[in-house]
Structure 1
Amino acid sequence: MQDHSGRIAVDGLSKRFGTVEAVRDLGFTVEPGLVTGFLGPNGSGKTTTLRMILGLVVPTSGTALVEGVPFETLVSPGRVLGAVLEAQGFHPSRTARRHLLVCAAAIGVPDRRVDEVLGLVGLAADADRGVGGYSLGMKQRLALATALLGDPRILVLDEPGNGLDPAGIAWLRDFLRGFARSGRSVLVSSHQLAEIGQSADRVVVIHRGACVYQGELAGLGGGRRGRVLVRCAEPVTLAQALVAKGLMEVDTLPDGRLAVGGADAVLVGDTALAAGVAVYGLVEEQVDLEQLFLQLTGGVAG
């Protein structure tokens, strides 16, 4: 029975295409009020998973439920979930307004909603231009407008930042955050790791069809911290002083520098000063989302 929660629940989801196992026993949830980032290298099974959620691909096993039921059994699905899998398929000579009017009629929403969504995505001034003259970024905005026509509780987006300039990406980030803050759900697949790091509340990372991490963004990578890289006159003496302070993650790099995990530059510098070791350079290196992603997926960026 449909529960109107705005929740997506994937459980034990698998899909085989002949001998190829595209998705393996995948499980995760998308909760209302949050932006959930869906990350993985090219070919990891992200798009196949999204297509199973949307009822476009039949799972080999497992379930993908939208508000407690399979997508194809939803009542008025366009009012429940809006999706953008690719910004293609627009008739080149049709205007954005005409395209949206056709789609609005198909899902049973009033024509006035067309102007509302055109304003939401920043296309009001270009609404009567032929879509064939649109840039890729403008087509992305039009695809998003189409997904928003039914004022859905859930958005599912596959690489929505493709073709957007930096201002457009910033706009998209703010829009998705606002959508989620209104109590609705966002599932966004992307390879733009730095952007996901700025917009997602939680992430699901898959590799070769299987989940390798899901949870809050802050917990990605098991709490791995940054490190300080230090070049000094007496690395052995400094390493001993750092260990004496309880800093056990001290390694010597091939170039002779020390890498000190779990510390900041002030602590390392003060320790060197107290030990009488001359320091020639200190660099704080933060572990970013891309580094963690590469570690989780075996160095395959996609």
Structure 2
Amino acid sequence: MTAARGDDGSGRITVQRLTKRFGPVSAVEDLSFAVERGTVTGFLGPNGSGKTTTLRMLLGLVAPTSGEARINALRFGELPHPARVVGAVLEAQGFHPARTPRAHLAACAAAIRVPDAAVGHVLRAVGLDTAANRPVGGFSLGMKQRLSLATALLGDPQVLVLDEPANGLDPEGIAWLRAFVRGFAGQGRTVLVSSHALAEVEQTVDHVVVINRGHCVHQGPLARLRGRPRVLVATPDPARLAEALAKAGMPEVEARRDGRLAVTGADPARVGDVALAAGVALHGLEAERVDLEQLYFGLTAGAR
């Protein structure tokens, strides 16, 4: 793929008050968010939350009831060369079982008017060059996911929209996908990736948009979802340690039911140094691990 385009605002996705109703059923309701260029945004929510419907509206496949979704400030149907702006993987299906990846991609390249050389390039990019002349009918779901991604990349797009891209991938494939997505965004491009499993994407994304039943329940940097770091401390003299920590600029200390202190906004090394200087014994010191899955399920379970 070529180097990223200039700093002209290209690659930005905006969704404003987007709503889609199918008869009496509201699949998406008054949804707004933005995806900035050069970032990977996780579009998260349980199955049936409205993620795929939103992506289909973004890509012009479903007409919204109200509101709008834009890429580069344009609706999908207004893009002069859509395949060169956005590549999408919504499902790893739709391939003729007797056709090879090379033949499939050559047909797609002709349809979007890109050079034949792009076929070999994207096959190498997704790791299918050695299987380029095998019939797709014998492919695993993971290999079909790679072929779908190769198809999305043919136009050398600024934006990638991926719907559950890890489906069918083994752990090695998931690690490969993570590195690929990060590298794509590292070129100044944009990735919007949907998933119902936070654990699959938490090592990949910069920002998250969490929806449930068509409503946005959280959006922002992943770090904000994690919350501020805390250190858990076991000591025989909690009052004295709390006083020393406050004097050292760490006043947010909470006594837990298990007898330990929870120190917010600190790291273990700093807390240990303060305890040593104050002559307070420590029986345990650990950074608290935020259970993102638990936070995620709390957000989605509590939504309307």
TM bin (shorter chain): 0.7 to 0.9
Q: 2:156 aligns with which of 133, 139, 151?
A: 151
Residue of structure 1 equivalent to 2:290: 287
Q: Which amino acid aligns with 2:46?
A: P
**Residues 225 and 286 in structure 1, CA contact (< 8 A), matched pair in contact too:** no
- The yes-or-no answer on 1:37 pairing with 2:42 is yes
Residue deviations 1:251-279, cap 9 Å, x none? 34343333332233344445555666543
Unaligned runs of 5+ in 2: 1-7
* Partner Cα distance (1:198, 1:141) in 2: 20
State the Cα RMSD in Å: 2.9
TM-superposed deviation, 1:117: 1.2
Matches within 5 A, 1:94-243: 94-218=99-223, 220-221=224-225, 224-235=227-238, 238-239=241-242, 242=245
TM-superposed deviation, 1:79: 2.3
- The yes-or-no answer on 1:259 pairing with 2:266 is no
* Partner Cα distance (2:26, 2:92) in 1: 27
Residue deviations 1:198-240, cap 9 Å, x none? 332333222332223333333x23x721222233335455556
- Identity percentage over the alignment? 66
Q: Does the residue aligned with 2:54 lie in a helix, a strand or coil?
A: helix
Q: Which amino acid aligns with 2:284?
A: G
Residue of structure 1 equivalent to 2:97: 92
Runs of 4+ in structure 1 displaced over 6 angstroms? none
Cα distance change, pair 8–276 in 1 and its aligned pair in 2 (3 A): closer
Cα distance change, pair 280–24 in 1 and its aligned pair in 2 (3 A): same
Residue deviations 1:132-182, cap 9 Å, x none? 221222111100011111222221111212222333223222322332333
Unaligned runs of 5+ in 1: none
**Residues 250 and 266 in structure 2, CA contact (< 8 A), matched pair in contact too:** yes
With 198-207 and 266-275 compared, the bigger mean Cα shift is at 266-275
Q: Which amino acid aligns with 2:232?
A: L
- The yes-or-no answer on 1:66 pairing with 2:64 is no
With 119-128 and 276-285 compared, the bigger mean Cα shift is at 276-285
**TM score, norm. by length of structure 2:** 0.83
**TM score, norm. by length of structure 1:** 0.84
Q: Which amino acid aligns with 1:250?
A: V
TM-superposed deviation, 1:292: 4.5
- The yes-or-no answer on 1:52 pairing with 2:30 is no
Q: Which amino acid aligns with 2:288?
A: E
The aligned length equals: 296
Cα distance change, pair 138–273 in 1 and its aligned pair in 2 (3 A): same
Q: 1:12 aligns with which of 17, 37, 40?
A: 17
